[in-house]
Amino acid sequence: MRQTVIYMRHGEYDRMAATAKPGSLTTFGEETSKAVGEYLFDHNYVPDLCVFSNAIRAKETKEIVLNSLCKKGNLNLGEITQSEVPELNECWDFDPIVAVLEENKSAKCILIVGHNPIMGALGNMLSNTTVRFNPGSFMVVQYNLPIDRFSVADHQAIDMLEFELA
């Protein structure tokens, strides 16, 4: 079974917000996250699993993306399994992502909300280009090979379905 994975970097946030709790999304980050949810629904990428880091910005991003997707599609949010994975918080290697994919082989479509540097590295490696994977950027891939720590970032192991830079 081919697995679709949506890799998303959290929305734009403010580290020093005076009016909101530090680490919360900016208005632009909220708008971008909402637009991503609508885009995913419009292109029939509806995750059955959403995995996210424990950072406020990642949690807020996934909430807005999933709520937007479900609202636009009149879907039940309860049908999307959600799992917090602290190891995704600003990780520097692919191991946490590989672990998520290996542990959830039965999921048809997985949304992973993470951070740089790993999301930027995946963006560059899977697209086989050099890009700036800004907050709110995402890509949708389908893996053709079994996923391991080598194939997870191999552009020859995937079909790139979408690549949207914020």
Write down the architecture of domain 3-164 according to CATH.
3-Layer(aba) Sandwich (3.40)
Task: Quote the pLDDT of residue 130.
Answer: 92
Task: Quote the pLDDT of residue 37.
Answer: 97
Q: What SS3 state is found at 37?
A: helix
Judge if the upstream peptide bond of residue 135 is cis by omega within 30 degrees of 0: no
Alpha-carbon distance of 70 to 10, in angstroms, equals 19
Task: Quote the pLDDT of residue 147.
Answer: 87
CA distances from 156 to 37, 48, 126, 160, 161 (A): 27, 25, 8, 10, 13
CA neighbours within 13 Å on the CB side: how many for 82?
17
C-alpha of 21 from chain center: 23
**pTM for the whole structure:** 0.95
Question: How many residues appear in the chain?
Answer: 166
Task: Quote the pLDDT of residue 45.
Answer: 97
Task: Quote the pLDDT of residue 149.
Answer: 86
Task: List the chain pLDDT tens, one digit each, 166 residues.
Answer: 689 999 999 999 987 655 556 688 999 999 999 999 999 999 999 999 999 999 999 999 999 999 999 999 899 999 999 999 999 998 889 999 999 999 999 999 999 999 999 999 999 999 999 989 999 999 999 998 788 888 999 999 999 999 999 8
